[in-house]
A and B are shown apart, each in its own frame.
Chain A
Amino acid sequence: MHNLLDDYAHHNALRDVSPRLKLFIGLASMLICVSSPYPAAPLFVALFLSLAAVLLARIPVRIYSRLLLLPLSFALLSAGVVALMQGEGRVLLQMQLLGIDLAVRQEGASLALLLLARTFGGMCSLYFIALSTPMIEIFATLKSLRIPYSVIELSMMIYRYIFVFLDQAARIHSAQVMRLGDAGAKSSLHSFAMLASVLFLRSWEQGERLVLAMDSRCYDGKLNIMEQAGKATSLQMLIVAVYLLLASTIAVLGRGAFLL
């Protein structure tokens, strides 16, 4: 799935909206999610941004929902530990595992639910940025935020080579599988190590060639990028402002029905 997100970033319907605005929506939503004391606001953020991704950016629903399922397993595992460790109050669920009493109590359960909601809202915010904004525009924005030049330069080159190496890794891997390199634990360990070291050496040599290529094109330590994206219209800014206002109001007031 490696260039999936990136492909959509280049071909979605929100492609031409100002990258600053899109970054701002994503980051502000994340902050609202992480500071909301109740699950209502993160769920609202998740709903709004998912609708935006599917209806406005026209990301296919099937792909979007598969993306959301990806991080779920880790979230459930960690939230499970939190639910078991935390809190007082009514016991909701009790079981015995290897002679240890495990009990999920009210406080722990609502904290776990809150964490799941925050993670969910945060994931939607991340995906909103990733699916709607190509990296190159994020670099341009970072540049205007005065992030040190060497870091941006490094990020851009890393970004370029991630795709080159993923491709090579996939090719080496299928060559190994075809020769039964994945038969048994020992040979798969060896195959993996071989893949990793060949990849390292190839990337190193690629780097040496890159130095040569850039030197012969008069590279002086600065790659220039053009910021070509449009500016935000006042209607867009109004919509974003209303959305953020709503989300933060829900974050402050939103106890009610969502409390367990």
Chain B
Amino acid sequence: MHIMEGFLPHPWWEIWFALSLPVVAYGVHRINRMIKDNRETLPLLAVAGAFVFVLSSLKLPSVTGSCSHPTGTGMGSIIFGPWITSVLAVIVLVYQAVFLAHGGLTTLGANVFSMGIAGPMVGYLVYRAAMRSGLHLFLAVFLAATLADWATYLVTALQLALAFPAASGGAYASFEAFAAVFAITQVPLAAVEGAVTALMFKYIVELRSDVLVRMNVVSAKAVAVLKEAAA
């Protein structure tokens, strides 16, 4: 859910830039360290970023006939962790603004915060918690991707509500209104993205499980169990 160019008024777009900046700076620091240790991760990160862009520009099939775009950030944060995903999100969001007119540059800070920081953070934490409590991998992935999307919508609704508090009832009332609009249009789509991400993991485990093991997403033992169950 991108906020468009020019939509956030004066103090708010600066505030969201200020909130996003330290996280992204830390992400850049992490990337620099990763490259120093292991130079070949940079091209891999690059193809992952391009993948997120392409995924988010594809139309998601949906039952109601309406279409929407997956965010792809749940996927990113499961594989690369939230910090690095935030840097990828900045780059991808700039390209989306410039090539597809999704989002904008003054609203970049707010969009990075909702899609590149809040969503991936939630997705990552949910994924780790679910794996620790022994849930099935695919269920954990589904939950992480779905909840990451929901977190993104809630933060976007909050950003819009804070910038445009209702005349009666203040920011809370308009938060309800924006959240209601998203709830109707976006919540089912988040579940679709969760399902798609889980299916993706199924195919990846089947074909190239070594990628996931190398990125520390799942242990080699868990992969062996999954493959045995599938066979």
Contacts and interface: CB of A to CB of B under 8 A. Distances in A.
Given A30-B105, A200-B200, A207-B46, A169 B181 contact: no
A210 B50 CA distance: 14
B85 to A, nearest CB: 13
B87 interface: yes
Given A75-B4, A158-B46, A221-B35, A189 B192 contact: yes
B104 A126 contact: yes
A25 interface: no
B199 A154 contact: no
A84 B164 CA distance: 11
B160 interface: yes
Interface string A164-181: 111001000000000000
Contact of B101 (A70, A158, A214, A221): A70
B187 to A, nearest CB: 16
A119 interface: yes
A44 B90 CA distance: 30
A51 interface: no
Contacts of B44: 204, 207-208, 211
Given A34-B10, A204-B47, A188 B61 contact: yes
B99 A6 contact: yes
Nearest to B4: A119
A119 B5 contact: yes
A150 B7 contact: no
A81 B178 contact: yes
Contacts of A161: 46-47, 49-51
A76 to B, nearest CB: 11
A197 B54 CA distance: 12
A206 interface: yes
Given A85-B166, A155-B91, A185-B61, A78 B43 contact: no
Contacts of B139: none
B54 A162 contact: yes
B43 A207 contact: yes
A30 B106 contact: yes
Contacts of B57: 2, 166
A75 B160 CA distance: 13
Contact of A210 (B10, B43, B106): B43
A34 B4 contact: no
Given A85-B173, A197-B199, A169 B54 contact: yes
A107 B58 CA distance: 38
B207 interface: yes
Given A166-B57, A193-B200, A30 B47 contact: no
B45 interface: yes
Contacts of A33: 6
Contacts of A208: 43-44
A162 B50 contact: yes
B55 interface: yes
Interface in A200-252: 200-201, 203-204, 206-208, 210-211, 214-215, 221
A164 B50 contact: yes
B40 interface: yes
A3 B62 CA distance: 26
B55 A157 contact: no
Interface in B176-226: 177-178, 181, 192, 195-196, 199-204, 207-208, 211
24 contacts: A30-B106, A34-B6, A81-B160, A85-B166, A105-B167, A122-B105, A150-B32, A154-B46, A154-B91, A155-B94, A157-B47, A158-B91, A161-B46, A161-B49, A169-B54, A192-B60, A193-B195, A194-B203, A196-B196, A196-B200, A204-B44, A207-B44, A215-B40, A221-B39
